[in-house]
Amino acid sequence: MSELTFGDGVLFFPVTAFDAAGRLDVAATGAHVADRVESGPGGVFAACGTGEFHALSLDEVAAVVRVSVEATAGRVPVIAGAGGPLGHTIACVRAAADAGADGILLLPPYLVQGPQAGIVGYVEAVLAATDLPVIVYHRGTATLTAATAEHLLSLPGVAGIKDGVGDIAVAQQIVLAGERTGRADLRFFNGLLTAELSQAAYRAIGMPLYSSAVFAMAPDIATAFYRAYRADDTATQHRLLDGFYRPLVALRDETPGFAVSLIKAGLRLAGAQVGSVRAPLIDPTPEQEQRLGRLLATGRSLLAA
């Protein structure tokens, strides 16, 4: 298993573009990834949460990963999403390997909540099907105890854990469990929605990496925040958090699924041909899109200031 080495930048979760008929638009997806890679993300996570993995067929996952690998051109790692029913998960993992992905983000199993031993079995079945390093997504039906996390981190194919639960005490135990393994190749990152709002707390417990959906629609704002974060410039961080991220979260929380829908809307406002979201997600109303546009303008005015 090769070690995942991310660049110095936020972890980029691109959208998946669809045409007016709702079909996968491979060219537009590749153009979106290629454009954002120019802004310097630390890694590309293709066909994952922001990329609507839940709504993609196996063939579409493979196509999205392949075009993302091509568009990234080796500049940073490309991590492919896989998850859901076990058979589908393994098929996605194999397709990602064939498409040239550098690793896997293993999303939770579909619907059922098994015991901790069952989660371990799910991860082990995936590891047996691939030589790619696997990042386990701690969330939903794959919510881990500290003991389970420690066991998984001892497995050579597991490259790290993404936290989507938000329990800082458990997240701290996961980081400590990783330290006890003695492995220097493990990666931990904050995967909460709009992670910028919680990243100061995660950095304090030893999770310096975070994913940024905002980077997909406004890389200038997301990168400015990241640079302030890396430089310990709390004044700039707080200005962006209070003036942009906090009201963005308030808008996001108005409708389930807007963590993805708003990102696509923001791209459309900028002229990108990425299409709508697929069901069960819905697009923002015209009034909500107008508010999003004003928020993006406010964020950029804060950068100018």
Apex CA 258: angle with CA 249 and CA 269, to 5°? 90
Task: Supply the residues annotated as catalytic.
Answer: 137, 162
The three-state (H, E, C) secondary structure of the chain, written as one string = CCCCCCCCCCEECCCCCECCCCCECHHHHHHHHHHHHCCCCCEEEECCCCCCHHHCCHHHHHHHHHHHHHHHCCCCCEEEEECCCHHHHHHHHHHHHHHCCCEEEECCCCCCCCCHHHHHHHHHHHHCCCCCCEEEEECHHHCCCHHHHHHHHCCCCEEEEEECCCCHHHHHHHHHHHHHHCCCCCEEEECCCCHHHCHHHHHHCCCCEEEECHHHHCHHHHHHHHHHHHCCCHHHHHHHHHHHHHHHHHHHCCCCCHHHHHHHHHHHHCCCCCCCCCCCCCCCCHHHHHHHHHHHHHHHHHHHC
| Of 132, 141, 121, nearest in space to 160 by CA | 132
